[in-house]
Amino acid sequence: MTTPPKQRAGSVVILAAGHGKRMKSAKPKVLHPLCGRPMIAWVLDQALALEPERIVLVTGHGAAEVEKAVGEMGLGARVRFVRQEPQLGTGHALQVCLPELGADPGVTVVLYGDMPCLRPETLRALVATQAESARNGMAILTAVPDEPRGFGRILRDDAGHVTGIVEERDASPEQREIDEVNLGVYAFDGPGLVAALPKLSNKNAQGEYYLTDVLAAFVAGGRAVRAVELEDHEEGLGVNTLAHLAEARWALQLRILEGHLENGVYIEDPATTYIDHGVEIGAGTRVLPCSVIRSGVRIGKDCEVGPFAQLRVGAVLEDGAEIGNFVEVKNTRVGAHAKAKHLSYLGDGEICARSNIGAGTIFANYDGVKKHKTKLGERVFVGSGSVIVAPNTIGDGATTGAGAIVTRDSNIGAGEVWVGVPAKRLAGKSTGPASGTKKETRS
Ligand code: UD1
Ligand code: MG
């Protein structure tokens, strides 16, 4: 049998049953969006980074909604749901997981569904610390924040060994002066955790079963408790309010932007650039201020986006494409070196290479019931202020005049010139190499 690498966890338990009252929202806290995905997706990524055999997600408030959202993330049987009703504390949350964990769940990491900023390296260090010695009962993540209010305090003996955690509400005035706090993230020895959980009591200020009391059980049993101190406080951010959500969003946003900068994407002003998780951008592309790029968008090399552009779901920019100010692109492929530089809406479209979309162009994709496609060939010239009512196709090298209203199914042929309201073919006029061919369209 091969032994697993020391940074891998056997099990990860994510606690996400809490109410999140302070969010003042009907939506379950862990489903609030952060950079294009729900908060819980970030925490599931933390869990996946530890390559565990199982991930157990503890749900309670809004359980059905949370389970549905997580079920749609495509993780399959790797994530198991356990409902905790009622919620009797963090220790109780682990107790209800015992049937899923079995007798030996391996090194078991506990994460919170509302701590989206922890980095995988930090969690791997926690697991590695726990796995250093068979004497270790658990490793805990601690921090020394500017304001320790609300957190459990870490108790240490004179030699510096961790001896306990005391909840603020149970702490003496002297203990409240301790500045090292418990972030609530742990790596446990699996069998030790399984043995300690049934013995927890709820005799404390909150009448809850405290997971932190497992630590006391290890210490009483002569096992070591190791602490890993968080260096970057931002990682330990717990989201309890919408203000915290905004802070977490900014932290994660910066990481996403840093990733693109490292890949050779020029971002003029990170402070006003919004790029979701899961966006591909090629090197040499320039993203100018006040642009919004949503999850799943793909941008090739040497493109230009913005300032003030919005690229929504399904937007694809091929190499060298340019999308300028006040242009919204949704579910549209913009071909290589095609341009839409000003004030346009391009929805449900297909634009082939080197076409030019004039200022103020609208792809009128929605008839009030259904969405329809607009397809443009190569080197199409769309005059300023054109409205192209979908479904429609415009052939290679065709032109629309300024202000043309191209009614649905006009299907302009290659090289043709159409003008007016409603737009009509200008007899005898044609442009480009494909002139003269009738109603020839690209698909
Ligand atoms: C816990 C720790 C405290 C630590 C703090 C860090 C205990 C007893 N205390 O505090 O030392 O400083 O976290 O944030 O563990 N949850 C459940 N079921 C429950 C209770 C909580 O799933 O029955 C979940 C919540 O959704 C939340 C997390 O556990 O994600 C922490 O709960 P919370 O009440 O915020 O933490 P405390 O118990 O106050
Ligand atoms: Mg609590």
Type of residue numbered 216: A
- Does the pTM surpass 0.85? The reply is yes
Tell me, in angstroms, the distance from the centre of ligand 2 to residue 102's CA.
26
433, pLDDT greater than 90? no
**Which distant-in-sequence residues (6+ apart) come within 8 Å of 289 by Cβ?**
268, 269, 272, 273, 306, 307, 308
174, pLDDT greater than 60? yes
Pocket perturbation via mutation, ligand 1, pick of 59, 67, 90 by most ligand atoms within 8 A of CB? 90
Q: Does ligand 1 have an atom closer than 6 angstroms to the CB of 152?
A: yes
Give the confidence band of 96 by pLDDT, cuts at 50, 70, 90: very high
| Percent share of the chain, pLDDT over 70 | 96
| Percent share of the chain, pLDDT over 90 | 93
15, pLDDT greater than 50? yes
Q: What is the mean pLDDT of residues 277-294?
A: 98
Question: 61, 161, 233, 342: which is the annotated catalytic residue?
Answer: 342
How confident is the model over 218-257, as pLDDT tens digits?
999 999 999 999 999 999 999 999 999 999 999 999 999 9
pLDDT of residue 279: 98
Tell me, in angstroms, the distance from the centre of ligand 1 to residue 89's CA.
7
Q: Does ligand 1 have an atom closer than 6 angstroms to the CB of 215?
A: no
3-class secondary structure, 328: strand
- Residue 230, token pair as written in the block: 């968080």
Contacts within 8 Å (CB) and 24+ apart, 410-414: 411/439, 411/441, 412/441, 413/437, 413/438, 413/439, 413/440, 413/441, 414/377, 414/440, 414/441
92 catalytically annotated = no
How confident is the model over 115-149, as pLDDT tens digits?
999 999 999 999 999 999 999 999 999 999 998 88
The torsion angles phi and psi of 399, rounded to 5 degrees, stand at: -130, 140
Q: Does ligand 1 have an atom closer than 6 angstroms to the CB of 15?
A: yes
Q: Does ligand 1 have an atom closer than 6 angstroms to the CB of 183?
A: yes
434, pLDDT greater than 70? no
- The domain limits of the chain are 11-236, 242-435
94, pLDDT greater than 70? yes
408 secondary structure, DSSP code: T
How confident is the model over 18-27, as pLDDT tens digits?
989 999 999 9
Q: Does ligand 1 have an atom closer than 6 angstroms to the CB of 59?
A: no
Pick the atom of ligand 1 nearest to 89's CA.
Answer: 23
**Superfamily holding 11-236:** Spore Coat Polysaccharide Biosynthesis Protein SpsA; Chain A (3.90.550.10)
Pick the atom of ligand 1 nearest to 87's CA.
Answer: 23
Strand-pairing partners, residue 371, are 366
1, pLDDT greater than 80? no
pLDDT of residue 429: 75
Tell me, in angstroms, the distance from the centre of ligand 2 to residue 150's CA.
10
pLDDT of residue 435: 42
Q: Which helix (H) or strand (E) segment is 187 a member of?
A: strand 181-188
Cβ of 222: how many Cβ atoms within 10 Å? Answer: 8
Tell me, in angstroms, the distance from the centre of ligand 1 to residue 403's CA.
61
Environment class of 13 (CB within 10 Å of its CB; exposed 0-12, middle 13-18, buried 19+): buried
pLDDT of residue 437: 41
How confident is the model over 287-340, as pLDDT tens digits?
999 999 999 999 999 999 999 999 999 999 999 999 999 999 999 999 999 999
Q: Does ligand 1 have an atom closer than 6 angstroms to the CB of 212?
A: yes
Kindly identify the ligand whose nearest atom is closest to the C-alpha of 167: 1
pLDDT of residue 443: 39
pLDDT of residue 3: 59
CATH of span 242-435: 2.160.10.10
Report CA 36 to chain centroid distance, whole Å: 5
Tell me, in angstroms, the distance from the centre of ligand 1 to residue 325's CA.
46
Pick the atom of ligand 1 nearest to 151's CA.
Answer: 12
Tell me, in angstroms, the distance from the centre of ligand 2 to residue 310's CA.
40
Give the confidence band of 7 by pLDDT, cuts at 50, 70, 90: confident
Pick the atom of ligand 1 nearest to 17's CA.
Answer: 22
